[in-house]
Amino acid sequence: MPVEFPGIGGGDTRDGPETAPRPAPGPRRSAARSVRAHRRYGWDRVLLASGSGSAAPARAAAPPVNGAGKNGEPESPALKVITTRHPGRWVAAAVIAVLLAMVASALITNPAWEWEVVGEFLFAPSVLRAVVFTLELTALGIVFGFLLGTVLALMRLSKNPLLSSAAWGYIALFRSIPLILQLLFWYNLALLYPRLSFGVPFGPAFFDIGTMDLIGPVTAAALGLALHQAAYAAEIVRAGLLSVDHGQREAAAALGIPRTRQLLRIVLPQAMRSIVPTAGNEIIGLVKGTSVVYIMALPELFYQVQVIYNRNGRVMALLLVATIWYLVMTSVMSVAQHYIERHYGKGRA
Amino acid sequence: MSAAMVDLKAVHKSFGSLEVLRGVDLQVGAGEVTVIIGPSGSGKSTLLRTVNHLEKVDSGSVTVDGELVGYRRAGDRLYELSEREILRQRTRIGFVFQSFNLFPHLTVRQNVTEAPTSAQRRPKAEVEALAVRLLERVGLSDKIDAYPRQLSGGQQQRVAIARALALEPKVILFDEPTSALDPELVGEVLDVVKDLAVSGTTMIVVTHEIGFAREVADTVVFMDEGRIVERGTPAQVLDAPRHERTRLFLSKVL
Ligand SMILES: Nc1ncnc2c1ncn2[C@@H]1O[C@H](COP(=O)(O)OP(=O)(O)OP(=O)(O)O)[C@@H](O)[C@H]1O
Ligand SMILES: [Mg+2]
């Protein structure tokens, strides 16, 4: 689509290339004619035509423009399109249907699953509270984990060697310690440091507080999950940032866009495209990962069903209750992830 | 102070042991168009990138409209400016990349309005109106709410030019603006650049489009191995080159 500028040629005359004017090697303001020539042939062609003089016949021999070819051919009849059939798909569907039916039958007909007990406890208040608590722990772990993880990722990408090696050390350390051990450390922090004081490092303290009061079991659990998650989140965010074309940062810098704005408006949204799918994995992993917290006797879902089946002995039914809730939670999150991915896929469709 | 809009003095730049710029002097007057040509690897892009401090110089100075770029002078020493200061200076120096580098997750409109609102803190309404005018000027009024992916290469580059213009820069630098384009799209971009030249925009254009240089340039500069070998009017440099290297280069690209 040619652009029209007032004052610069622009008629759609179809004169042959042999009349292409030699671009005048004079002041640019009198250049309208060769602009027009260029628009049709490109600069190199204009030069060829004007420089050698031998380009014109070559142009004349070029294939004719639209119209002629069409007239030469007979009118084709309207053709019907038949899409490829996929008989294999029907076979696969049948096999899967049979397998599903077998699983369903095994689940329903075996009285050992005690479906009525499942129904009784699925919406029991204590179970619902446990589900909510599980979600809370997940949210705390993810939000603080990704906040800290983003900071760590930026530190690792920093040119300051101290910052980047500090982040590297953190990630190496927290990825190596099993979550369950870390949780136990936090839980038992009070044994190691009964009181925590706040003030000038190695100097006077402004106030101090009992560790137990500050880091109760819930805080310890959330802290442990977040710190653990941060190590993984850092690598996910870093990979995301690296996946954004260097030219994006450069263009933003060339436009003088402030640094934080470059990150938040230009780089991170593009990084999200590769961060979200992996982060979704992490969140879903963490929903289930919270079950580790049961060792701290916190009433999350897995701990709660254990409490109940220790009381009534209906082990399988209650494990099924927990399974169903984990399934529901992760499925809802998968759907949410789909929409988030679509949001960050804007302009890429 | 010289009257030149862009003034490079004895600019040296090395990447490791590779000396890419070996003392470049270049003056571009206000409203003038300078076209830089030269073989691949001769340092054209690097030179252009020193003008807006995307590349730091090792020695020498870069001045735009009387203001030293990237440094503050105290006596005979140059102190590098803070990043914030450098970003402020860049808002007055437009840059158009070979690969467009539009922001793919933002619409055409947002691409154009982003820097004026965030870097220059101009009122949103004013910037929106400016964006509409500029996109009209580059012939893309109907694409204002499209995403870059939905545009042809030529259209994307025209958006990139509008984006640079939105900052109302004192000088615009073009690094091979048409090299990534299909041949039939080259013309539409060069037309836009030419329109800017006619309207008196100060520009430095690195290009292999010799026809364009001939027509639009006030000055053509031929670079080779990090030095300016020859400079002059298009007629002097392109039609009657004095140096053997210039002749050799022109014989290859023509
Ligand atoms: N960031 C960098 N690090 C190391 N070497 C670089 C860097 N940028 C450019 N160079 C080298 O500097 C030399 C000049 O590069 P430059 O991009 O300025 O050349 P050019 O004249 O623009 O070439 P072209 O026409 O191919 O774009 C080349 O040898 C290139 O490999
Ligand atoms: Mg280059």
pLDDT band at A73 (very low <50, low <70, confident <90, very high): low
pLDDT band at A26 (very low <50, low <70, confident <90, very high): very low
Mean pLDDT estimate for chain B = 94
Mean pLDDT computed over A141-160: 94
Residue A319 has pLDDT above 80, yes or no: yes
In percent, the amount of chain A with pLDDT more than 70 equals: 78
- Please, which residues 103-142 of chain B have a Cβ atom closer than 8 Å to chain A? 103-107, 114-115, 118-120, 138-139
Segment among B5-19, B69-83, B227-241 with least mean pLDDT: B69-83
Please say whether the beta carbons of B97 and B175 come within 8 A. Answer: yes
- Closest CA relative to residue B70, chosen from A261, A248, A253: A253
pLDDT (tens digit per residue) in B130-183: 999 999 999 999 999 999 999 999 999 999 999 999 999 999 999 999 999 999
Cβ neighbours for B66, distance < 8 A, ≥ 6 positions apart: B1
Residue A204 has pLDDT above 80, yes or no: no
Cα separation, B23 vs B122, whole angstroms: 38
Res A78: pLDDT: 82
Tell me the shortest Cα–Cα distance from B208 to chain A, in angstroms. 10
Cα separation, A269 vs B105, whole angstroms: 8
Cross-strand bridge partners of residue B21: B13
Segment among A41-45, A100-104, B79-83, B99-103 with least mean pLDDT: A41-45
- What fold does the segment set A111-197+210-345 form as a domain? MetI-like fold (1.10.3720)
Q: Is the CB of B253 under 6 A from ligand 1?
A: no
Res A63: pLDDT: 47
Mean pLDDT estimate for chain A = 79
Which residue among B37, B42, B173, B174 has the greatest number of ligand 1 atoms within 8 angstroms of its CB, and so is best to mutate? Answer: B42
pLDDT band at A74 (very low <50, low <70, confident <90, very high): low
For chain B, list the domains and their CATH numbers: 6-251 (3.40.50.300)
Res A75: pLDDT: 65
User: Where do the structural domains in chain A lie, given as residue ranges?
Assistant: 111-197+210-345
- Report pTM: 0.77
Residues of B in contact with A257 (CB under 8 A): 87, 114-115, 118-119
Tell me: ipTM over 0.90: yes
Asked whether the CA dihedral A189, A195, A198, A202 is positive or negative, the reply is: negative
Cα B69–chain centre separation:
15
Residue A320 has pLDDT above 60, yes or no: yes
What's the gap in Å between A244 CA and the centre of ligand 1? 22
pLDDT (tens digit per residue) in A271-312: 998 999 899 888 898 988 888 888 888 889 999 999 999 999
